[in-house]
C-alpha cells in the first residue's frame, strides 16, 4: 500500500528508535529532562525565537498558543479554511471561550492587511475586542501554499498596528522555507509565536514545538499543563525529535515527488491537478463523474491511499516514507482505478 493520506504516517527510522532507547531522561514537569531541554533550545534557535516549548501535538501547540495570547470572550481572526478553525474541534471556543471571526483568504490562503483591519473589532460596551490573529504556513487546505515572508509580515504588521498579537500555525513551515528558498527565521520573524510539527515531513513519531518570547513560553508552559500536556520522561520521544529537526533539509525531495505525482495525475483523463508548491497535491476529480469518496475507494483497491478534501477533491501528500518508484506506481494505480 502506498500511503499518501498525510505526511504524519511516517514511521521512525532505526536511528530514531535507537536515540529513543539511549535518551537521557528526567521529569520534564520539573524541567529536569535534559533531552527535552536540549530540544527546546535547539528548536528556539532554528526559528530564531527566545524560547520554545515541547508539546505532544500540533493541535495542542495551536490551542495553547491561542489560550496564552487571549482572554476569555475575545475574538480571534483566522483564515476560513485554516486548520485551527476547521480541524481542531472548535477548540478555541471549547477550551478558551473565544469567538472566531473568519477571513476569506485568496486561493492560496493569503490574508491581506486590509482584511485584518476590516476584521478587527475594538473592545467596547457591545463588542468583545480582537485578541489574536492566527495565520497558517504552509496553508494545508489550499494545497500546501508556501506563503512568502513579506505577505506574512504585511498581515502581522496590520495586526500589530491594532495592538493584536499574531500566532503562526507553521505545522509545515519548513516546507514553506524550503519551497521559497528562505531561512525559516525570516518567515517567522514577523509573528509573536509559531507552532511547528516534528511529526510531519521531518519524520518524528510524535511532537510539535511552540516558540516565542521567554515570557510567552513561560505562560504557555502553564497552559500546556492545564491542557494535560505536562509530560514526564518525555526525552524518550524528544530524542527522535532532535533528529527530526535535522531532517528539515530533506523536504525538497518531498516537493519534487509531489510535482512528479501531480504532473502524472494531471495527465489522466478527468483529473485536474495544479502544480503543487510543496508536498500537498490536490486532485479535482469532478471530471471523472465520481465523488472523492468513490475515487478514493477505487484507489485503495489499487493500493493507493489519500483523503477527501471536498466532494470532488482529494489530497495526496508526499513524505519521507515514499520509496523510490512509489510515485510512478501510484500514478499507474490511479489510472487503473479510474
Ligand atoms: N493536519 C492533519 C489533519 O488534521 C488534517 C493532516 O493530515 O494534514 N496545523 C496544520 C496546518 C495541520 O495540517 C495539522 C495536522 C495540525 C495543525 C495539527 O497537528 P497534529 O495532528 O499534530 O495535532
* Atom 3, ligand 1: residue with shortest CA distance: 87
Question: Which pLDDT score, from 0 to 100, does residue 137 have?
Answer: 98
Q: What confidence tens digit (pLDDT) does each residue in 316-334 have? A: 999 999 999 999 999 999 9
57 CA: nearest ligand 1 atom: 22
* Amino acid 156: pLDDT: 98
pLDDT value of residue 279: 98
The parts of the chain modelled with pLDDT lower than 70 are: none
C-alpha cell at 220: 504557555
Tell how far the Cα of 209 is from the centroid of ligand 1, in angstroms. 13
Does the beta carbon of 6 lie inside 6 Å of ligand 1? yes
In the prediction, which pLDDT does 205 show? 97
C-alpha of residue 215 to centroid of ligand 1, in Å: 26
Q: Does ligand 1 have an atom closer than 6 angstroms to the CB of 68?
A: no
Q: What global pTM score does this model have?
A: 0.98
Q: Which residues contact 60 (CB under 8 A, 6 or more apart)?
A: 208, 224, 227, 229
* Mutate which of 82, 140, 176, 193 for ligand 1 pocket (most atoms within 8 A of beta carbon): 140
**Res 163: pLDDT:** 98
8 lines ligand 1 (CB under 6 A): yes
pLDDT (0 to 100) of residue 123: 98
For residue 16, the model assigns a pLDDT of 98
Atom of ligand 1 nearest to the CA of 60: 23
The pLDDT of residue 159: 98
Is-contact 262 273, C-beta < 8 A?
A: yes
How far is the C-alpha of 83 from the C-alpha of 98, rounded, in Å? 16
Q: Give yes or no for residue 279 CB within 6 A of ligand 1.
A: no
Q: Which among 198, 314, 193 has a CA at the least distance from the CA of 247?
A: 198
Amino acid at each position: 500500500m502506498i500511503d499518501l493520506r498525510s505526511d504524519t504516517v511516517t514511521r521512525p527510522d532505526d536511528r530514531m528508535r535507537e536515540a529513543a532507547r539511549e535518551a537521557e531522561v528526567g521529569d520534564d514537569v520539573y524541567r529536569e529532562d535534559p533531552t527535552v531541554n536540549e530540544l527546546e533550545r535547539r528548536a528556539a534557535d532554528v526559528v530564531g525565537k527566545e524560547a520554545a516549548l515541547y508539546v505532544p501535538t500540533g493541535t495542542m501547540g495551536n490551542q495553547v498558543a491561542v489560550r496564552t495570547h487571549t482572554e476569555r470572550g475575545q475574538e480571534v481572526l483566522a483564515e476560513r479554511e485554516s486548520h485551527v478553525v476547521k480541524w481542531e474541534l472548535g477548540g478555541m471556543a471549547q477550551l478558551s471561550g473565544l469567538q472566531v471571526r473568519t477571513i476569506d483568504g485568496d486561493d492560496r490562503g493569503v490574508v491581506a492587511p486590509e482584511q485584518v483591519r476590516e476584521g478587527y473589532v475594538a473592545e467596547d460596551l457591545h463588542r468583545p475586542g480582537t485578541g489574536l490573529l492566527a495565520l497558517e504556513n504552509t496553508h494545508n487546505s489550499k494545497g500546501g501554499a508556501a506563503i512568502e515572508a513579506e505577505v506574512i509580515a504585511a498581515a502581522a504588521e496590520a495586526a500589530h498596528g491594532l495592538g493584536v498579537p499574531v500566532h503562526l500555525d507553521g505545522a509545515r513551515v519548513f516546507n514553506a522555507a524550503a519551497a521559497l528558498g528562505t531561512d525559516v527565521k525570516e518567515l517567522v520573524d514577523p509573528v509573536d509565536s509559531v507552532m511547528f510539527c516534528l511529526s510531519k515531513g521531518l519524520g518524528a513519531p510524535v511532537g510539535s514545538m511552540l516558540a516565542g518570547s521567554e515570557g510567552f513560553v513561560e505562560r504557555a508552559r502553564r497552559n500546556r499543563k492545564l491542557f494535560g500536556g505536562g509530560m514526564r520522561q518525555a526525552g524518550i520521544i524528544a530524542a527522535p525529535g532532535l533528529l527530526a529537526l535535522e531532517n528539515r533539509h530533506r523536504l525538497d525531495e518531498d516537493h519534487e515527488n509531489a510535482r512528479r505525482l501531480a504532473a502524472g495525475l494531471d495527465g489522466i483523463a478527468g483529473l485536474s491537478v495544479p502544480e503543487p508548491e510543496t508536498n500537498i497535491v490536490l486532485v479535482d476529480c469532478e471530471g471523472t463523474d465520481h465523488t472523492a469518496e468513490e475515487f478514493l475507494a477505487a484507489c485503495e483497491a489499487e493500493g493507493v491511499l489519500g483523503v477527501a478534501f471536498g466532494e470532488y477533491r482529494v489530497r495526496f501528500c508526499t513524505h519521507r516514507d515514499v520509496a523510490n518508484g512509489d510515485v510512478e506506481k501510484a500514478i499507474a494505480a490511479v489510472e487503473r482505478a479510474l
